[in-house]
Chains A and B, each alone.
Chain A
Amino acid sequence: DAGVIQSPRHEVTEMGQEVTLRCKPISGHDYLFWYRQTMMRGLELLIYFNNNVPIDDSGMPEDRFSAKMPNASFSTLKIQPSEPRDSAVYFCASSLGGARDTQYFGPGTRLTVL
Chain B
Amino acid sequence: EDQVTQSPEALRLQEGESSSLNCSYTVSGLRGLFWYRQDPGKGPEFLFTLYSAGEEKEKERLKATLTKKESFLHITAPKPEDSATYLCAAVAQGNKLVFGAGTILRVKS
Chain B interface residue bracket vs A: 20 to 34
Q: Mark A1-41, 1 if CB is under 8 A from B, else 0.
A: 00010000000000000000000000000000100000000
Chain A interface SS verdict (over half): strand
The stretch among A63-71, A80-88, A95-103 that forms the contact with chain B is A95-103
B100 CB contact (under 8 Å) in A33, A42, A55, A104: A42
In the bound complex, do residue B42 and residue A102 qualify as a contact, i.e. CB atoms below 8 Å apart?
Answer: no
In the bound complex, do residue A107 and residue B96 qualify as a contact, i.e. CB atoms below 8 Å apart?
Answer: no
In the bound complex, do residue A100 and residue B31 qualify as a contact, i.e. CB atoms below 8 Å apart?
Answer: yes
Known A-B contacts A103-B46, A105-B44; A42 and B101 likewise in contact (beta carbons under 8 Å): yes
Q: Is B64 positioned at the interface, with any CB of A under 8 Å from its CB?
A: no
Please list the residues of chain A having a beta carbon within 8 angstroms of any beta carbon in chain B. Answer: 4, 33, 42-45, 48, 55-56, 58, 91, 93, 98-100, 102-108
With A44-B99, A98-B95, A103-B97 given, name 18 new contacts (CB 8 A): A33-B97, A42-B99, A42-B100, A43-B44, A43-B87, A43-B89, A43-B99, A58-B94, A99-B96, A99-B97, A100-B95, A102-B46, A102-B49, A104-B46, A105-B36, A105-B45, A107-B43, A108-B41
